[in-house]
Amino acid sequence: MELRNLINSFVIEDAQSLEHAVQNCGLLPFFRCDVPGFSVEELTPIEYWFVSDTDGPWEWRMDLAAQGNVAYGKLFAGKAGFCSLDYYPDLVNYRRDGYDFDARWEDGLANYRDKQIIDALTKFGPMLTRELRAASGVDKGFETCLTRLQMQTYITVAGFEYLHDKHGVPYGWGVARYALSESVFGEALTRSAYMRPPAESHSRLMDRLRELCPGSDSKALLKLIK
């Protein structure tokens, strides 16, 4: 079966089928993008979205993020998506371009607010969004920093937690808990593609996208991983 047909054959109806799709694709945006049909949004029947008393993609992503068998975060053009641990090391290698965060900072290539966030996570470990905002001292541009650090693969979503009202009842969509990528997936796995030039990792990622989405516009594919 052609890989494009394989993608079209997925019907995501629960957390297990979502993980199956991610593991088989390797890379999978959460929301529809410039590549038609290539997203969790488009592979999930409409009846699973925003239905009271029924889990859907928002809850399933929380399950997968907590399990740590795949990477989840803002990974594709600043928007959310999944990456299997087979392909995550190459995404790390390409996006970091040979730089651990400390080296990026020392070479003057990192934003100071980004460093405050990295320092807070290094010192205190995984934190909920509001905890990280307070511990890092970053207020202005905080969400922009989080998106950039996820795109650069230095941090990842390690899980979600619901807020509770004064009666102890959970509410809302769940608040993300952020962590250094190495603390979630281990340094050995996260950096396992470091032996390859970043350009080779880029080629491996693009080759996979071309396999998954034959005939798609190269610029649209490149936009997903650049």
For the chain, what are the domain ranges? 3-225
Q: Assign 1 a pLDDT band (cuts: 50, 70, 90).
A: very low
Read off the pLDDT of each residue in 84-111 and give the average, rounded to a whole number: 96
pLDDT of residue 6: 60
E strands along 6-136, which residues? 27-29, 70-76, 79-84, 127-128
CB 84 within 8 A of CB 26: yes
In three-state secondary structure terms, 95 is: helix
Read off the pLDDT of each residue in 100-127 and give the average, rounded to a whole number: 97
Q: Find all residues with CB under 8 Å of 141, minimum gap 6, and list them.
A: 113
pLDDT of residue 176: 95
* pLDDT tens sequence across 29-40: 999 999 999 999
In three-state secondary structure terms, 159 is: strand
Rg of the chain in Å (alpha carbons): 18
CB 98 within 8 A of CB 198: yes
Phi/psi for 151 (5° steps) reads: -60, -35
The encoded tokens of residue 129 equal 């969004």
Angle between helices 15-25 and 57-67 (to 10 degrees): 60
- Out of 145-154, 159-168, 185-194, 209-218, which region has the weakest mean confidence (pLDDT)? 159-168
Tell me how many degrees the CA angle 117-122-128 measures, rounded to the nearest 5.
60
- Out of 18-22, 67-71, 135-139, 166-170, which region has the weakest mean confidence (pLDDT)? 166-170
Read off the pLDDT of each residue in 122-140 and give the average, rounded to a whole number: 97
In three-state secondary structure terms, 100 is: coil
Phi/psi for 179 (5° steps) reads: -150, 160
* pLDDT tens sequence across 164-212: 777 777 766 789 999 999 999 999 999 999 999 999 999 999 999 999 8
Q: Find all residues with CB under 8 Å of 67, minimum gap 6, and list them.
A: 19
In three-state secondary structure terms, 29 is: strand
Q: Is the pLDDT of residue 5 over 90?
A: no
CB 89 within 8 A of CB 190: yes
Q: Find all residues with CB under 8 Å of 99, minimum gap 6, and list them.
A: 107, 109
Q: Which amino acid is at 99?
A: Y
